[in-house]
Chains A and B, each alone.
Chain A
Amino acid sequence: MIDIVLLTFLAATAIAVVRHRNLFAVVMLAGIYSLLSAGLFVTLDAVDVAFTEAAVGAGISTVLFLATLALTGPREAVPVRKPYLPMVVVSITGAALIWGTLDMPRFADPQAPIHQHVAPRYIETSPTEIGIPNMVTSVLASYRGYDTFGEVTVIFTAGVGVLALLGIRRKRSSKDAAEKE
């Protein structure tokens, strides 16, 4: 029941994000959106995901967005074109996706294929096999350790990319300015 309320709030927040032109408000609404989804994850039993979403999605992302806004300005220009074409594209895509959900297993169906594959094995044997009561940690760090390694690689690459875009360039441009003088 509470998840239906949270989902409705999420939809309302998303509409507010579309309508606001003040980017500061948009970023704050995006933080609220993240926090609401963290609450939703708790009701759906994903406590680890909720932690991460609240800390990373609502926390770090919002800080990053605010830091960017400080450099790029908080106002969004009023669009010149009417967004009819995007509206049509989005409606058609959404309708196709909804049509696709009709075949999906219903919410919280114990017979759904997702519960039949490796998950029962993780649930039954990981507490004894790995020795950690939290199954999510066991799967993350042990059974699917390669995924986590790939994640670390992506973060490293993104960090290098951010440094390459912001740090080194700025130094070179200040050197150029010094040479011109």
Chain B
Amino acid sequence: MNWVGLYNYWIVIFLMMTGFYIVVSQGNLVKKLVGLNLFQTSVFIQYISMGKMPGGTAPIESSAPAVYSNPLPHVLILTAIVVGVATTALGLALAVRIKQAYGTVEEDRIREEDRNV
């Protein structure tokens, strides 16, 4: 069993769980979105790690014979990065609106205000 070959995946899982932990344990909505971004980037690293070939180069055709890494995960992750920033922008806009409506972005105080209404 070659355990070294799993190091990438384990770090990815660690980063993913760190993002997940921030999302569930921290009360500030902006920090939750940072956690969501950490989670997201860890998934990107997972995909790109899977596309790596031993001794490969970037998948751009060259005259010299070469082994290319798998271009398909690269394409999927390019799409995912841009979609990710779009969703982050929407989340931040929601946070700004919540700040305008409640005067805070802390989850506990938002819940208190809801209870008072």
Contacts and interface: CB of A to CB of B under 8 A. Distances in A.
The answer to whether A and B come from one shared complex is yes
Contact of A52 (B2, B76, B82, B108): B82
A47 B105 CA distance: 37
Contacts of A14: 14-15, 18-19, 38
A30 B105 CA distance: 19
A81 B90 CA distance: 29
A52 B48 contact: no
A123 B15 contact: no
A108 B8 CA distance: 10
A155 B89 CA distance: 10
29 contacts: A7-B11, A11-B14, A17-B22, A23-B30, A37-B41, A37-B45, A46-B48, A46-B77, A53-B41, A56-B85, A68-B95, A72-B95, A76-B28, A77-B27, A79-B25, A90-B21, A90-B24, A94-B16, A97-B16, A108-B52, A114-B73, A118-B72, A123-B68, A136-B71, A147-B75, A147-B79, A158-B87, A162-B90, A166-B93
B5 A83 contact: no
Contact of A154 (B58, B81, B86, B95): B86
Interface in B48-99: 48-54, 56-62, 68-79, 81-90, 92-97, 99
Given A40-B45, A136-B59, A33 B81 contact: no
Nearest to B13: A97
Interface of B: 2, 4-11, 13-22, 24-31, 33-35, 37-38, 41, 44-45, 48-54, 56-62, 68-79, 81-90, 92-97, 99, 105-106, 108-109
A165 B93 CA distance: 6
Nearest to A53: B81
Among B8, B78, B81: residue with most chain A CB under 10 A? B78
Contact of B88 (A4, A61, A104, A122): A61
**SS of B interface (majority):** helix
Interface residues of A, number: 92
Contacts of B20: 90, 93
Given A49-B81, A72-B105, A166-B97, A44 B51 contact: yes
A57 B81 contact: yes
Given A65-B30, A94-B17, A158-B86, A110 B95 contact: no
Contacts of A33: 38, 41
Contact of A136 (B31, B50, B74, B83): B74
A80 B31 CA distance: 16
Contact of B7 (A7, A61, A83, A105): A7
Contact of A49 (B31, B35, B74): B74
Contacts of B57: 45
A9 to B, nearest CB: 10
